[in-house]
Structure 1
Amino acid sequence: MAGPCSARLQGEAAAFTTALRTLVNNPQFSDVTFVVGREQQKVFAHRCVLACRCQAFQGMLSQETVGSEGSPSSVPPQGPFILGNVQPEVFLAVIEFLYTNSVTLNSHIALEVLTSSVEYGLQDLCKLCVKFIKDTLSMEQVCEALQAAVTYGQVDLQQHCLAFIEGCTTAVVRTQGFQELSDVVLARVLRSDRLAMDELDLVQAVREWAHVSS
């Protein structure tokens, strides 16, 4: 006699995402609070969502606390957790991703969200940030993007930024971002034999970089 049939059926994913989006920074039923940035903005979240989606948050939320007798307590910390070194908009983008597996980015926060994605070990968010940065790369941001790509080992983004710089080197070296490159990243740029700039002008640009960096 044949056994019972079983199957896992997938419902409407968009409806599920829309419902979870209503919980982003929603104090209703929230059981953990973060105080974010210099603005000390409160961000409300739900520890079960954060813990199941991100190991870094799981560790943060499950740390043992010390009870009144000096012994470890089984009650997880309630916060508020102070996150003074991140912009509220950046942290909210991370929270949005954890709840919905999507993220709202703009050119002002994309690199910082990339940084947070690396810090929290969120590889899928990192990929989304890299794609957005590549798609919206500008003259003013390319050096900062290259610096981040080298720092976080994003090889694909490094290559994309270098190709961008090679195509408009004369304009790029005039940007503030070029002046703020680290010596390691500048060396990577200078190793290229495709820079669209006269060699003497490039030497002068490097001298100006050295003067600013000294």
Structure 2
Amino acid sequence: MGDRREESNEQVPGKPAGVVQQQQAAAAQVRAARAQQQEPAVPTFHQKQSSAAAVAPAPPVTTDVPNWQGLKASVRERNALMFNNELMSDVHFLVGPPKAAKRIPAHKYVLATGSTVFYAMFFGGLAENKADIEIPDVEPQAFLAMLKYLYCDEIDLEPDTVLATLYSAKKYIVPHLAKACVTFLETSLSARNACVLLSQSRLFEEPELMQRCWQVIDAQAELALNSEGFTEIDYETLETVLGRESLNAKEIVIFDAAARWAEAECRRQNLQANANNKRRVLGRALYLIRVPAMSLEEYANGAAQSGILTLQETADIFLYYTARNKPVLDFPLVPRTGMKPERCHRFQSSAYRSNQWRYRGRCDSIQFAVDKRIFMAGFGLYGSSSGAADYTVKIEIKQSGKVLAENTVKFFSDGSSNTFPVWFKHPVQIDPDTFYTASAILDGAELSYFGQEGVSEITLGSVTFQFQCSSESTNGTGVQGGQIPELIFYA
């Protein structure tokens, strides 16, 4: 079930294609290599092939240039001149798949001073004296990125090759480069690639990156599960995702995502993507989906008609919804807890004096920033101060004028000074140290409560919010008072 065949040529950004089962075996070999200081053999990353020009050796420095050494003021500059250069090279690497390998020159001394693996390879007790060393499992461009760091002390990362570079840095135990790769991946992390990066972070044993991936997947679960990358994860990662208690997703979304993964897995295993084969490749992971936690309508119109469930399971689940004596099911019965939303309340009091808040299509807006990544789920708004009333509101999150999310929703105000939550369709990722604009345009009862005694900075747990007035606010909302009293978020 977990066996993964060769993938199609279509690539998921940030993910090196390859054979996942072989990658997992390779990870174990990398760990063994750390202990033995021997070079492991691992599978090829079939990323976009580097052009010949990208990996061609630099023009050699020759003695025809007088005192070329004296033109470079530092050891780093002189070493940089030797990067990818034939001059004085005493080893060559054939990097990449055998039929497309690139021959890259290097200098044993430089490599051995930067990597314990290279030291063992060239100067250890089992040192080999080959003129050409084959490295079929590493992307040439990634290998050059590692060499550039070892020669020049420069880190040059690209989205298409950063995972392959991380693999190369892990294989040859170059920890500072590996850390830079992880940092690069964290900054580019989003719901679109979180599942792929989770799979790779498990393979590369990067717990911090794994934790960051889980934060995104939990908070933006439906976006992550509906991403193309979710269908490319390995079986073990699939199990961890489907079994996750804190996913903020409807169970029917989780079921549909698992079905799409199964269809992709059938293609990878050269199987017809019918219901029986989908069930077969899902295996025990199917029973991590909390089918009875769906609404009856979601189940009847979705999972029950998928063909993935057996006829007996389909009937028993219907009985579970409707019968007094409920059958025993193999699926978990209790809904997932999801993530608990937190609320940042920015006013110390509210009021409804003669200068009550009015709307008439005007915009209430405030700017905010945080010091760590969060996910904005919605706002808490004040409602009517003249009895119960219905409101329609358009809410937005913007950054530098770009609309990141918007939604038009209705809410009922019971006439109290309570705040009433309104939600975006999906939580919005808010990056640290950047100001965002939160806006609301309400349509409903003219007179409402409003906040006062606002504060410009609030710390909730590990998150600090800063507020400042927004030029888009045309209804009087600002730091000191007005609407949008609460920001509802996941941290």
Letter in 2 for 1:156: E
How much has 1:117 moved relative to structure 2?
A: 1.6
Could you tell me which residue of structure 2 aligns to residue 206 of structure 1? 258
- Give 1:36-115 correspondences, 5 Å limit: 36-38=95-97, 39-62=100-123, 77-115=129-167
Contiguous gaps of at least 5 residues in structure 2: 1-72, 266-280, 282-491
Matched residue, 1:71: none
1:23 shift after superposition: 1.6
Contact 1:170 1:197 (8 Å CA) reproduced: yes
The CA distance in 1 between the partners of 2:95 and 2:235, in whole Å, is 32
Q: Deviations over 1:166-200 (max 9, x none)?
A: 23222222333211222322233234444332122
TM-superposition CA deviations, 1:76-122 (whole Å, max 9, x none): 61421111222110100111121233320011111111112221122
Q: Does 1:134 align with 2:186?
A: yes
Superimposed CA distance per residue, residues 137-181 of structure 1 (whole angstroms, 9 cap, x where no aligned partner): 244432221111111221100011111222322222233321122
Counterpart mapping for 1:186-205 below 5 A: 186-205=238-257
The counterpart of 1:19, out of the listed 65, 78, 97, is 78
User: What's the counterpart of residue 4 of structure 1?
Assistant: none
1:34 and 2:93 aligned: yes
Displacement of 1:50 in angstroms is: 0.8
**Aligned-CA RMSD value:** 2.4
In terms of fraction of residues, the more helix-rich structure is 1
Query: Residue 32 of structure 1 aligns to which amino acid in structure 2?
Result: V
Gaps of 5+ in 1: 1-13, 66-73
Look up the SS of the partner of 1:22 in the other structure: helix
Q: Which secondary structure state, in structure 2, belongs to the residue aligned with residue 33 of structure 1?
A: strand
Change (3 A) 1:78 1:182: closer
Which structure has greater strand proportion? 2
Q: Which structure has the higher relative contact order (CA within 8 Å, separation 6+)?
A: 1
The equivalent of 2:201 in structure 1 is: 149
- Measured against aligned partners, the alpha-carbon deviations of 1:33-70 in whole angstroms (never above 9, x if no partner) come to 111113321211110011121111122223679xxxxx
Q: What CA distance in whole angstroms lies between the structure 1 residues aligned with 2:162 and 2:231?
A: 21
Opposite residue 121 of structure 1, the aligned amino acid is: I
Aligned partners of 1:87 and 1:160: how far apart in 2? 26
Counterpart-to-counterpart distance in 2, 1:80 and 1:49: 17
Aligned-partner Cα distance in 2 for 1:198–1:18? 57
- Amino acid in structure 1 at the alignment position of 2:211: Q
Q: Which moved more, 1:53-62 or 1:138-147?
A: 138-147
User: What amino acid does structure 2 have at the position aligned with 1:155?
Assistant: P
Q: Which residue of 2 aligns with 1:180?
A: 232
SS at match of 2:189: coil
Alignment length (residue pairs): 192
Compared CA separation, residues 111 and 29, structure 1 to 2 (3 A): same
TM-score, normalised relative to structure 2? 0.37
Could you tell me whether the CA contact under 8 Å between 1:150 and 1:158 is conserved in 2?
yes
Instruction: Give the Å deviation of 1:15.
Output: 4.7
Question: What percent of counterpart residues are identical?
Answer: 27
Cα distance in structure 1, aligned partners of 2:192 and 2:222:
13
In 1, the alpha carbon distance for the partners of 2:229 and 2:173 equals 27
Inter-partner Cα distance in structure 2 for 1:191 and 1:103: 38
Instruction: Pick the structure with greater CA Rg.
Output: 2
Work out the CA distance in 2 between the residues paired with 1:41 and 1:52: 24
Residue aligned with 2:134, SS: strand
